[in-house]
Amino acid sequence: MLDCFLGQREPRPVVRPSALKLKNVVETGQQLLHDASAQAIVTWARETFSDGLVMSTSFGSQSAVMLHLITSIAPDLPVIWIDTGFNFPETYRFADELTKRFKLNLKIYQAEESPARMVALRGNLWEQGREGLDEYDRIRKVEPMRRAFEELGVRAWLTGPRREQTQFRRTLNVVEPFDGVCKVHPVLGWTSRQVHAFMKQHDLPYHPLVAEGYLSIGDWHSTTTTDGRGGDRDGRFHGLKQECGLHIPQSQAENESRESSGL
């Protein structure tokens, strides 16, 4: 593992990369990092994108792993949390605990439409099948994330999917283009065993609901307990899908590919 920390640098202007430049950066990253450690991947992203780099968290079951990993290298990095307004009470308390522990530079974004207004005008979207869930995710997650990217001048995004979690995530690369920014996955190749070992090594807490059988934790209305035999995310979205939309590009061609995969 890398133990070095990056030195201070003068801030650079935050400018979204052109399509050609983004392609070149992604290709370089893929060549350099295909078998690199998670620490080396984070360090490369910090060196490459400077103050255009952010990370996101859901304050989910194992979120302490990414928060520890990244803040140990880039303690001032903006951390985006998309708060849907429908999290478990335990999630809000866990978020407060981790924010204090890691002294997070937390940036909370929410949908422009309040939870009460959305339910009054659209009903319980999470009870309206796959289309309702997709609309819910667009309103409460995807739109706030796009707004966060615009307001924070994001050029690259550190996030924590792992290949073993879903069929879609097995198709991801460590570095890839995503809706005009560079998406970087430091723990993409980690197994559940590696995650648990890292948490034990660094005395990191699990989300409190893990002890009650929740292996993947999202909103209270679309998260259930699971035995994990079919995968950590089996308890999400009433079994209708496994991805909330934040990690899936929104172009028509990419969505058609996703639909054909059954995700």
User: For residue 243, what are the domain limits?
Assistant: 19-261
Q: Residue 250: its pLDDT value, please?
A: 55
DSSP 238: G
8 has a pLDDT exceeding 90: no
The secondary element (H helix, E strand) that includes residue 176 is strand 175-178
Q: Determine the average pLDDT of the residues in 165-180.
A: 87
Q: In this predicted model, which residue has the larger pLDDT, 244 or 171? A: 171
Quick check: is 139 in a domain?
yes
Closest CA to 72 of 103, 51, 95, 44: 103
Work out the percent of the chain whose per-residue pLDDT is above 70: 78
Q: Determine the average pLDDT of the residues in 162-175.
A: 86
Q: What is the pLDDT of residues 101-136, one digit of tens each?
A: 999 999 999 999 999 999 999 999 999 998 999 999
Quick check: is 220 in a domain?
yes
142 has a pLDDT exceeding 90: yes
159 has a pLDDT exceeding 90: yes
Cβ–Cβ under 8 Å, residues 47 and 8 = no
Q: Residue 165: its pLDDT value, please?
A: 78
CA 67, distance to chain mean position in Å, is 11
Q: State whether residue 33 is helix, strand or coil.
A: helix
The side-by-side arrangement of strands in the sheet containing 105-109 is 105-109, 78-82, 53-57, 156-158, 181-184, 175-178
Q: In this predicted model, which residue has the larger pLDDT, 101 or 164? A: 101
Q: Give catalytic residues, as residue numbers.
A: 244
- Number of separate domains in the chain: 1
Q: Residue 3: its pLDDT value, please?
A: 39
Quick check: is 230 in a domain?
yes
SS (H, E, C) 121-142: HHCCHHHCHHHHHHHHHHHHHH
Q: What is the pLDDT of residues 54-85, one digit of tens each?
A: 999 999 999 999 999 999 999 999 999 999 99
Q: What is d(CA 114, CA 131) in angstroms, rounded to the nearest whole number? A: 20
Closest CA to 114 of 132, 92, 140: 140
Q: Residue 143: its pLDDT value, please?
A: 96
Tokens describing residue 33: 């990092």
193 has a pLDDT exceeding 90: yes
Q: State whether residue 90 is helix, strand or coil.
A: helix
Quick check: is 6 in a domain?
no
**Over the chain, what is the mean pLDDT?**
84
Q: In this predicted model, which residue has the larger pLDDT, 132 or 262? A: 132
20 has a pLDDT exceeding 80: no
Quick check: is 3 in a domain?
no
Quick check: is 12 in a domain?
no
Q: What is d(CA 163, CA 141) in angstroms, rounded to the nearest whole number? A: 22
Quick check: is 180 in a domain?
yes
Q: Residue 34: its pLDDT value, please?
A: 86
Q: Residue 72: its pLDDT value, please?
A: 97
Q: What is d(CA 213, CA 58) in angstroms, rounded to the nearest whole number? A: 18
Q: What is the pLDDT of residues 209-251, one digit of tens each?
A: 999 988 889 899 988 776 555 555 454 444 544 445 565 665 4
CATH code, domain with 146: 3.40.50.620
Quick check: is 121 in a domain?
yes
Q: Residue 76: its pLDDT value, please?
A: 97
